[in-house]
Structure 1
Amino acid sequence: MNDRDLLEFEPMWTTERDRWELWRTSVGYLPILKGDPPMAEVICDDGLADQVIAKMLAAGVTVVARPD
């Protein structure tokens, strides 16, 4: 992973922050694009996913507790 990879997701916690929320489950957080239906953003690189989630949390993206 490099910084360019992280920059590709930057709108999720900056310019498009209000379009996203984090669903908290027993296994961690899942970035969700709000809508009907909501759509998960699956990030296959665990390290990158952790960084994206940390940025979203720090930016105050809404966290929703979801049952598993």
Structure 2
Amino acid sequence: MSEQTFLAYASMWTTERDQWELHRFDDTYLPIMKGDPSMASLICDDELADLVIARMRAAGVTVVTSE
């Protein structure tokens, strides 16, 4: 994974942070763009997904649980 690939997701925890939520399922988080309809962002590279989710959580993106 390149830094350029990682930075392509930066708006999810910076400029567009308020447009995103992290939906928690067990020990997994799924980035969801708010809206009607809402839209999931699937990141197929596990290492990249972990880094993006960690940045989103550190930036205070809302976490939604089903409980």
TM-score (norm 1): 0.94
> Deviation of residue 66 (structure 1)?
2.6
Give aligned-pair identity as a percent.
Answer: 61
For the aligned residues, what is the CA RMSD? 1.0
Residue identity matched to 1:13: W
TM-score (norm 2): 0.95
Unaligned ranges ≥5, structure 2: none
Deviation track 1:8-51 (CA, whole Å, cap 9, x = no partner) reads: 00000000000000000124000000011110000000000000
Count of residue pairs the alignment pairs up: 67
Unaligned ranges ≥5, structure 1: none
What is residue 20 of structure 1 aligned with on the other side? Answer: 20
Q: Distance in 1 between matches of 2:58 and 2:65?
A: 17
After TM superposition, what 4+ stretches of structure 1 lie above 6 angstroms from structure 2?
A: none
Q: Distance in 2 between matches of 1:65 and 1:38?
A: 16
